[in-house]
């Protein structure tokens, strides 16, 4: 292996940026819930940083990137990072050490299940969440990493997902919907968001970290890295402004929370397409995201789904939409090495493959998630009892409170 210090240093920086997104998510979600449940939602993100790392080291990386079993999952040949040393090259870019690739992909594994937690805020026991975290990574996240990024069946079929439209946002958002349906509505009306400044802090950290999330997925520093970086900011900005305007027209007031939510929706939607489309396409993707995700949240409200923090409307719909729009707007002019042309350039086949892949991922994520929660509920109650819900999870489950009484 010939080490490229520039690319290696860049990927270490990107790994750090993606790691920062999980605390950012904790602040984002923490600000959106009421004062009695701040720690209960934040610990679910932070514990993923610890427990997912343990799983990733033990067998997660191996199941994602070692070997192949029927194109769906890897094997255990590299469990406990067996065979990894200082000179082992990365499978994506041989000038980067494998240990850096392991670290970068681990940060993705940490944040993806944490995204789901916003859907069942204030309702789920910590023991059940830990079992859910373990099962969901093993049976939903790891297979899709392998199928799309680990030389599995969808990658060989020609499905593209630059940084996680299916692998991260779509499956997490659809899993959130399955969780909401299984767990049911909250019995206690939440008084959140209790701190919009916390939401703003979380959004800022997420947005900042997303540059590592998307630009880093090129695994080297080149012009595609730069276009992914630029597209990330463009889509987030346009989606934020569109959501703000739609919220303004509806409520007659420009809502800060709408601006923040729109930015995250734009970030989720551009993720699969960031390194495959033009900046002009990123503008269109951001605007479409702002409109579609806004109406998805409105639809959720009309249907009475208690997706507490709009994980389905923002991440599930955003990831789904991003994969479809990639099928439309992909251009080899902006990624000549591994990109393809999309529907606008006459490539109907690629578009249909993208549609089929995201429909399959949605079905898999929904039914596996629902089934896992059903099984976990046989072992330990998934939902907290009424008293704990009334008291708030901070004090009742964790014996801590976020804010001292005045």
Taking only the tens place, the pLDDT of each residue in 301-332 is 999 999 999 999 999 999 999 999 999 999 99
Angle between helices 126-136 and 98-116 (to 10 degrees): 130
pLDDT digits (tens, 9 = 90+) for 85-133: 999 999 999 999 999 999 999 999 999 999 999 999 999 999 999 999 9
**Distance separating alpha carbons of residues 160 and 156, to the nearest angstrom:** 10
For residues 219 and 11, give the distance between their C-alpha atoms in angstroms, rounded to a whole number: 7
Termini Cα distance of the chain: 61
Per-residue pLDDT band at 189 (split at 50, 70, 90): confident
Buried b (16+ CB within 10 A) or exposed e, 246-262: bbeeeeeeebebbbbbb
Tell me how far apart the alpha carbons of residues 177 and 184 are, in angstroms, rounded to a whole number: 11
Reference 322, options 264, 366, 369, 363; nearest CA is: 264
d(CA 176, CA 305): 11
Q: How far apart are CA 18 and CA 196, in angstroms?
A: 23
CATH architecture, domain defined by 5-398:
Orthogonal Bundle (1.10)
Helices 196-215 and 256-270: angle between axes, nearest 10 degrees: 20
Distance of CA 21 to the CA centre of its chain: 10
CA–CA separation, 401 and 44 (whole Å): 15
Q: Residue 406 pLDDT > 60, yes or no?
A: no
Summarize pLDDT for 225-283 with one digit per residue, the tens: 999 999 999 999 999 999 999 999 999 999 999 999 999 999 999 999 999 999 999 99
Structure tokens at 122: 């204030």
Structure tokens at 29: 């979600």
Per-residue pLDDT averaged across 168-185, rounded? Answer: 97
For residues 286 and 185, give the distance between their C-alpha atoms in angstroms, rounded to a whole number: 31
Residues near 119 by beta carbon (within 8 Å), at least 6 away in sequence:
176, 177, 179, 180, 307, 308, 309, 311, 312
Give the contacts of 323 (CB within 8 A, at least 6 positions apart): 161, 165, 166, 170, 272, 354, 355, 357, 358
Cβ–Cβ < 8 Å for 315, 365: no
Domain positions in the chain? 5-398
């Amino acid at each position: 292996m010939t080490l490229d210090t520039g690319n290696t240093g860049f990927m270490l920086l990107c790994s750090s940026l993606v790691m920062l997104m999980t605390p950012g998510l904790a602040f984002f979600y923490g600000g959106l819930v009421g004062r009695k449940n701040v720690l209960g939602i934040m610990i679910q993100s932070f514990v993923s940083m610890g427990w997912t790392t343990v799983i990733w080291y033990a067998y997660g990386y191996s199941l994602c990137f070692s070997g192949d079993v029927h194109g769906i999952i890897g094997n255990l040949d590299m469990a406990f990072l067996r065979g990894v040393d200082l000179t082992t090259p990365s499978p994506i870019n041989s000038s980067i050490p494998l240990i850096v690739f392991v670290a970068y992909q681990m940060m993705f594994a940490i944040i993806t299940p944490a995204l789901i937690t916003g859907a069942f805020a204030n309702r789920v026991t910590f023991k059940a969440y830990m079992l859910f975290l373990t099962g969901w990574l093993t049976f939903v996240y790891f297979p899709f990493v392998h199928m799309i990024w680990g030389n599995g069946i969808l990658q060989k079929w020609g499905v593209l997902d630059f940084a996680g439209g299916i692998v991260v946002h779509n499956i997490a958002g659809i899993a959130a919907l399955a969780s909401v349906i299984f767990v049911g509505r909250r019995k206690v009306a939440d008084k959140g968001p209790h701190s919009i400044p916390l939401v703003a802090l979380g959004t800022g950290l997420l947005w900042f970290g997303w540059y590592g999330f998307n630009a880093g997925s090129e695994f080297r520093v080149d012009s595609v890295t730069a276009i992914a970086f630029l597209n990330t900011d463009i889509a987030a900005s346009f989606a934020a402004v569109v959501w703000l305007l739609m919220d303004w027209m509806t409520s007659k007031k420009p809502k800060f929370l709408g601006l923040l939510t729109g930015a995250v929706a734009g970030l989720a939607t551009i993720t699969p397409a960031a390194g495959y489309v033009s900046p002009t396409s990123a503008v269109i993707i951001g605007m479409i995201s702002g409109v579609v995700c806004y109406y998805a949240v409105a639809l959720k409200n009309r249907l009475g789904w208690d997706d507490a923090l709009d994980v389905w409307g923002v991440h599930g719909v955003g990831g789904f939409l991003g994969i479809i729009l990639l099928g439309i707007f992909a251009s080899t002019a902006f990624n000549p090495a591994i990109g393809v042309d999309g529907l606008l350039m006459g490539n109907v086949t690629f578009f249909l493959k993208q549609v089929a892949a995201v429909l399959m991922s949605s079905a898999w994520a929904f039914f596996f998630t629902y089934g896992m929660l059903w099984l976990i509920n046989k072992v330990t109650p998934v939902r907290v009892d009424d008293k704990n819900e009334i008291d708030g999870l901070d004090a009742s489950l964790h014996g801590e409170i976020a804010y001292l009484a005045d």
